[in-house]
A and B are shown apart, each in its own frame.
Chain A
Amino acid sequence: DQQVKQNSPSLSVQEGRISILNCDYTNSMFDYFLWYKKYPAEGPTFLISISSIKDKNEDGRFTVFLNKSAKHLSLHIVPSQPGDSAVYFCAASVSRNQGGKLIFGQGTELSVKP
């Protein structure tokens, strides 16, 4: 049972344009959502997060939007840069008391073309 889904395995965007990565979840108990970025042969690095009490969180070029009614979140990168090319994972957490367990999506590989 895939509780967190990233239905697009890949995305290609022109440099300077907006990149939109999508993520859907099924468990309404999730209360914290995160995006991670992963380069080949490296571990994921934390990018941005959002609590379920918010619907938007912005950090520089990165903005995460949360639509609880649709159980959907998205990551916007504006403007996209070639260095943003990586695999992006969304993740969700049920509760702060459960050891910080995260449920990850399958990942979306973003390619930003110069």
Chain B
Amino acid sequence: SQTIHQWPATLVQPVGSPLSLECTVEGTSNPNLYWYRQAAGRGLQLLFYSVGIGQISSEVPQNLSASRPQDRQFILSSKKLLLSDSGFYLCAWSDPIRPHADLFGPGTRLTVL
């Protein structure tokens, strides 16, 4: 069975500091990978998705970036965090032939102060 790991679970960072959130998937190969964010009182917003190593599509303009250095690893980064980056970040994967995210990770609660 497939499992998805995210770390850290919670993170408190000062404004202007860098960010690196990591997501890894087990039990599958060549998955589609996604980063979502849930801001307070809002739905889940797709930030990035990737259909393969080194292939990243960005959905919204922002100061965040994503990278996929390995098939089952997806990283969300920022050089300088903003207050508005606070939220609940979720990694997800899906089978390439299926149209939706099958499994979300446990999420990272990011608070920028």
Contact = CB atoms under 8 A, between A and B. Distances in A.
Interface of A: 4, 6, 32, 34, 36, 41-46, 49, 89, 91, 93, 95-96, 99-107
Interface string B23-44: 0000000001010100001111
Interface residues of B, number: 29
B7 interface: no
A91 B109 CA distance: 22
B17 interface: no
B59 to A, nearest CB: 7
A90 to B, nearest CB: 9
Interface in B19-70: 32, 34, 36, 41-46, 49-51, 57, 59
A43 B106 contact: yes
B43 A107 contact: yes
A44 B100 contact: no
Q: Which of A41, A43, A44 has the most chain B CB within a 10 Å cutoff?
A: A43
12 contacts: A34-B100, A42-B106, A43-B4, A46-B102, A89-B43, A99-B50, A99-B57, A101-B34, A102-B44, A103-B46, A104-B43, A104-B44
B87 interface: no
